[in-house]
Every structure is written in structure tokens, then in C-alpha cells.
Amino acid sequence: MFVEVRSRTGDAFGDPLETITPRKQAQIIRAARLYLDEEKPNAPAYRFDVVAVTFTAAEGPAVVHVPSAFDTSR
């Protein structure tokens, strides 16, 4: 499993999940495949989760976990 963690201080500039563009997804997938080719771990399948954290002074951190966040079939 690979996990991309994104965070924001407040919501003035949008949700942290919005920062994972198709281009960013492609970069993450490419890096993971390079790692898997190099290390050859004993894991037949993998997935990409995303954890988004928004920090606010009034409420503390809000955490959202998105399992299997994007498609790796490309």
C-alpha cells in the first residue's frame, strides 16, 4: 500500500484532496512502479490511499482517509 498525505492550514485555499491532480496521480503511480521494479517486494497487489488533513485552530485537525483513491490500470 502506498499513502499520499496532503494537508492544509485552514480551508481558505481549498480542500487538501483538491491538490491531487491527474498529473500528481501519474507522478505518484510512476514513482511507486519504479520502487516496485527496484525492490521487488513480496506483494502481488498494491493500492494508493490518500489521507487529507486540514488543521484549524478552532476545531483541531480534521482527517479524511480515502482508500483506493485512484485507478492504477493506466
pTM check: above 0.85: no
* Burial of residue 18 (number of CB atoms within 10 Å: 0-12, 13-18, 19+): exposed
What pLDDT does 66 receive?
96
Residue ranges covered by each domain of the chain: 2-66
User: Going residue by residue through the chain (74 aa), what tens digit of pLDDT does each one get?
Assistant: 899 999 999 878 889 999 999 999 999 999 999 999 898 888 778 899 999 999 988 888 999 999 999 877 64
What pLDDT does 73 receive?
61
